Amino acid sequence: MPVEKLKQFLDDNKIKYVVIRHSLAYTAQQIAASAHIPGKDLAKTVMIKADGRMAMVVLPASVKVDLDHVKTAIHANSVSVASERDFKDAFPGCELGAMPPFGNLYGMDVFVHELLAKDTEIAFNAGSHTELIRMAYDDYQRLVSPKMISS
């Protein structure tokens, strides 16, 4: 079952979504293959530290995060990939590395790659390494209000 905090948030906002179960997978590309979703259609969440603050960068699984580009796009002085130790306690109910791209539920900024906004739907980890949620991108945009990062 998706992480309860997320499920409750989606249900409270009357969002239509589908839970997709898949075999155990850890990398975004493994998850996409296991769930039979093209890598460009699966959103992965990369945790970063921007000027010392935790934030999320959400991008297609097939795209590598470019920290220099992110730093420029978000007008930060420093950006680095956060270590698992930095965020292991930040997402109660989620398996480490399977947090959904809803930083707003955890007091974090969310930056989304513009390629995801071009899709009608978004699929992402639902808090475990065996479940995804798929929902309309417009609903995600409305609920999270992420800041857009262009290519």
Beta bridge partner(s), residue 131: 21
**Tens-digit pLDDT profile for the chain (151 aa)?**
457 788 899 999 999 999 988 888 888 888 877 887 877 788 999 999 999 999 999 999 888 999 999 999 999 999 999 999 999 889 888 888 899 999 998 899 999 999 998 889 999 999 988 999 999 999 999 999 999 998 6
- pTM score of the predicted model: 0.90
Classify domain 4-149 by CATH architecture.
Answer: Alpha-Beta Complex (3.90)
Instruction: Give the C-alpha distances (Å, rounded to integers) separating 143 from 104, 111, 132.
Output: 9, 13, 18
Sign of CA dihedral 128, 89, 114, 141: positive
Report the distance separating Cα 97 and Cα 73, nearest Å: 24
